[in-house]
Amino acid sequence: MRSILVLNGPNLNLLGTRQPEVYGQTTLKMIEDLCVAHGEAIGLRVEHLQSNHEGALIDAIHNARETHEGVVLNAGAYTHTSIALMDAISSVQLPVIEVHLSNIHAREPFRHKSCIAPVVVGQICGFGAHSYVLALDALAKHLEESAAS
Ligand code: DQA
For residues 58 and 48, the answer to whether their CB atoms sit within 8 Å is no
Read off the pLDDT of residues 94-149 as tens digits, 9 standing for 90 and up: 999 999 999 999 999 999 999 999 999 999 999 999 999 999 999 999 999 999 98
For residues 26 and 15, the answer to whether their CB atoms sit within 8 Å is yes
DSSP labels for 45-75? Answer: EEEEEE-S-HHHHHHHHHHHHHH-SEEEEE-
Average pLDDT taken over every residue of the chain: 97
> Which of 31, 100, 115 best tests ligand 1's pocket when mutated (most atoms within 8 Å of CB)?
100
Q: What is the mean pLDDT of residues 64-72?
A: 97
Question: Would the CB of 104 count as within 6 Å of ligand 1?
Answer: yes
Check residue 46 and give its pLDDT: 98
Instruction: List active site positions.
Output: 23, 100
User: pTM here?
Assistant: 0.97
CA of 103 to the centre of ligand 1 (A): 9
Measured in degrees and rounded to the nearest 5, phi and psi for residue 133 equal -65, -45
Decide: residue 49, CB within 10 A, 0-12 exposed, 13-18 middle, 19+ buried: middle
As a whole-number percent, the residues of the chain with pLDDT over 90 amount to 99
